[in-house]
Structure 1
Amino acid sequence: MSALLDTRDTGATPTPPRPPGAAHPPRRVGQRVWGEVWRLLASLLLGALLLVVSFGLSIDAGADDSDLRLGGTLVADVAMGLVALALLPFRRLAPLPIAVILGLAGGFSAFAAPAAFLVLVSISTRRRWFEIGMTVAAWLTSLTLVEIFGLHFMLSPSSPGDALLALLVGAVLVFAGVAIGVSIGNRRELVASLRERANLVVEEQNLRIAHAREHERTLIAREMHDVLGHRLSLIAMHSGVLRYRTDLDAADRADTVAIVHDTTRLALGDLREVLGVLRSPGDSFDPPANAPQPSLDDVASLVHAEPLATLTITAETLEIPATVGRHAYRIVQECLTNARKHAPGQPVTVDIIGTAGESLTIVVRNTLAPGGSTVDESGGGFGLVGIDERARSLGGTASVETHAGAHTVTVTLPWPTS
């Protein structure tokens, strides 16, 4: 319930939906920079390792090749690797051209292969099959030229068996990269979909809470409408006396004028409360001094109507302002209704403690029913929202907690002395 009450201030805004294959949400600058740095470092280190291993194997396989050919192969391999590393950070600016270029380079250059593989995975996350097909074709073309036709910078070609095996392994790695990229893209879309659904749920809950609060404010405004009508009827009655009773002596006329004056002042206070209740949540207003509605004195009969409810009042109820008393009565009434709904047949205790000039505290505690819930699944827990709205309308607070098998609602209302 505390989470339910806190939802009003979250200001949650749903994230607009993204089309399938769209890039994941923007990250902070530091995260983007670090992401590029570790990819570059990983490609550099792994590419250097592959270059050393590949060059060593090339020396063994091409023992008859001249030093010029070996040196040319090494220089070309390193040059293509550096180009691949330079293009890697720009893979999102021109995905398809960079993926095709690095796909062609990845088959020829061991140093460029890790960076080209990362670009292959990256473009596969977009799940656009034309782009994936073009990139895979570039990879397979370069692998075929190297392994089948021996175009590896004029080194001696491999034997047919070794070449076919190398081509098969390369193709498996290429399709594995595609599978990894597509899987990452699917996961991103799923996460985005779940995030969007969660935001929609939050927005819907916020709308339901706002509707419940508006409904509660409307009910309070209706109560104050009755109060205001009562005041105005008194004013009309006594002003009518002043108009038609010409036989009143000075003392009676002065008393009647005083009654009209006091009642008018109280009616203005009631009107301020009505307008305050109808304002947007969070606005404060000054409560009036009195109101002919259920008061704290009526709580005793309300509690005694519940067979298993007990009441303890440690406060001078006669000194409590009528507005505070009326809201206290409604709060206790709602708490008893919730207890009867969620924990039927369980004992309920109502403690009312307060001091004039400080605050009035209402504590309603009920034992939980076996397997019971503290929130009504059918009603959405809006009774508790109404309690919180009433408390906030007077500048008070409301809290709900469940501990040691008991459900406790604690409401604190200000207790003005005048």
Structure 2
Amino acid sequence: MSFFLPGELREQPSGGPPRRSARDWLVDTALFLWAVVWWAAMTSLLQDHDYLPHWLVVTDPVLGGLLCLSLWWRRRFPLAVALLAVPANALTDSAFGALMVVILSTAMRLPWRSATVVLVLYLGSGAPYLLIYTKPHEGGWPVVAFALAYYLVFFAWGRAARARRQLVLRLREDAERARVDHARRLGAARRAERRAIAREMHDVLAHRISLLSVHAGALAYRTEQTAAGGGPALDETEIAESAAVIRDNAHQALDELREVLHVLRADEEDDEHGPAPGATVGQGGGPHRPQPGLALIGTLVSQARESGQRVRYEDALPGAEPAPRAQLQRTAYRVVQEGLTNARKHAPGAQVTVRLTGAPGHGLTVRVSNPLPDSTAASGIPGANAGLTGLRERLELEDGTLHHGVSDGVFTLLARLPWPHAERRPGPHP
């Protein structure tokens, strides 16, 4: 397709001036032949113009021919060719075709101010010839009007072509900037997702493996001490319990590793083929990382209590009913997590109430509330910043809603999520 583009619109291998494309060579050749045909036709008529001085009859074909030859340099030196055309414009008829090309090229390749100055020079330099020779002998004022239109039409044509090319170049630059910006944001999103996955592996998988190492080391130490006669022998119950702990932690570690690997493979497939139909995309641009669901909200509350936070947890969900899908459960978990974090940050020591309600077909409601401390009661909504903004975006992806506000001195974070009939709710996490 680059064959059909002018040199100015093609990507140049070097930083020099644009090189002629194959299309440019064809266009330049056609315009040169056009100018030469007009030069030959007008030169043949000079002998019939007996009203012209002899020196004009001799000079006319020479200047017209030189202007025809100069067309080959109009792309690289548009201003020089335009200024050299002024004498030919003032003294010749044979430059009619070449001057047409020069006016068009001048308007197309020079800035508005320079092109307008050149047009004024053409009008001023051509006026004496028109008024002294053309008007009295070749048709009067209509011929003068035609000459004026000749200048203005080709000048306007050139300006329109210049505007179109500049628009194409600007759109191309905008598209390139958008492509680079998209690639940068996509790369940043992927790096952020991979860093998050690395943190997930460190926080969860490494914890499981460290537990495996501790339990296995303890079991090996007790076995060695028993064999050396330095301690009581291990009974079958202790061995079974230790083996069960090791087995359960190993299974959990493998499950979590499998989820992380699934996320990484899905990311690679998206890189090669784009997201699969129906794939869920996270806020960072990549697939969701493995996150806990409703079954671990109780654990989250227990951890908050262990840190000294006063939390009352009310789970009013029907345990035997179909459960929300895993991604929606993770969103509900994040709502509780954000609510507890905001309460610790903005209302330390306050009693926090976490309540889960809902049913299949009626939606899932997550409510986290806490009374405002006296020092912040008059300061408005606590914690309504980037955390809640990100949480709102997460719920919007799930077609849910998020409301937060203060009523009667109590700040409430309320999330509503759709809960269609689906699979059964999972049991407690091991």
| TM bucket, shorter chain | 0.3 to 0.5
- Choose 1 or 2 for highest CA Rg: 2
Tell which has more relative contact order, 1 or 2 (C-alpha 8 A, sep 6+).
Answer: 1
